[in-house]
Amino acid sequence: MREYTKIFKALSDESRLRILNLLAQKPLCVCEITEILQLATSTISKHLSILREAGFIIDKKDGKWVNYCLNDTAGEPVKILTNLMVGWLTQNETAGADVAKLATVDRNCICGIEKT
């Protein structure tokens, strides 16, 4: 029962739902999520920690970046809920605006790193 409680608590926050919706589009780093949601980096990090602990996301190191993505090896409850939630959010105005912002976000510009 604790596993299910952890899963539903992770989904009980608007920002975490928005993060999951963004990660359903593509892997992102903290700075990209911070830029889109306009929340403090520490707040985003806390939300990511809760989502990771519940099994919704994983992080992968890629050079200087830590990318967060949906957990494709998650258990069935997490997979089912993720698919349902992402489907429902396609009809949500805020979630749609987040996805639109995603197209304009460049991690190199946000973090002040020159492209090579």
Q: Given this model, what pLDDT does residue 93 score?
A: 95
Whether residue 112 lies inside any domain: the answer is no
Q: Going residue by residue through the chain, which has 116 residues, state the pLDDT in tens, using 9 for 90 and above.
A: 888 899 999 999 999 999 999 999 999 999 999 999 999 999 999 999 999 999 999 999 988 889 999 998 888 889 999 999 989 998 999 999 999 999 999 888 887 665 54
Q: Given this model, what pLDDT does residue 112 score?
A: 65
CATH number of the domain where residue 31 is located: 1.10.10.10
Q: How many domains does the chain have?
A: 1
Question: What is the number of other CB atoms lying within 10 angstroms of the CB of residue 114?
Answer: 6
Whether residue 109 lies inside any domain: the answer is no
According to DSSP, the residues that pair with 68 across neighbouring strands are: 28, 59
Whether residue 111 lies inside any domain: the answer is no
Q: Are 73 and 54 in contact (CB under 8 A)?
A: no
Domain extent for 71: 2-102
Whether residue 42 lies inside any domain: the answer is yes
Whether residue 30 lies inside any domain: the answer is yes
Q: Given this model, what pLDDT does residue 113 score?
A: 62
Whether residue 116 lies inside any domain: the answer is no
Whether residue 107 lies inside any domain: the answer is no
Q: Where are the beta strands (DSSP E) in the chain?
A: 57-62, 65-70
Whether residue 21 lies inside any domain: the answer is yes
Q: Which two tokens stand for residue 99?
A: 């996805």
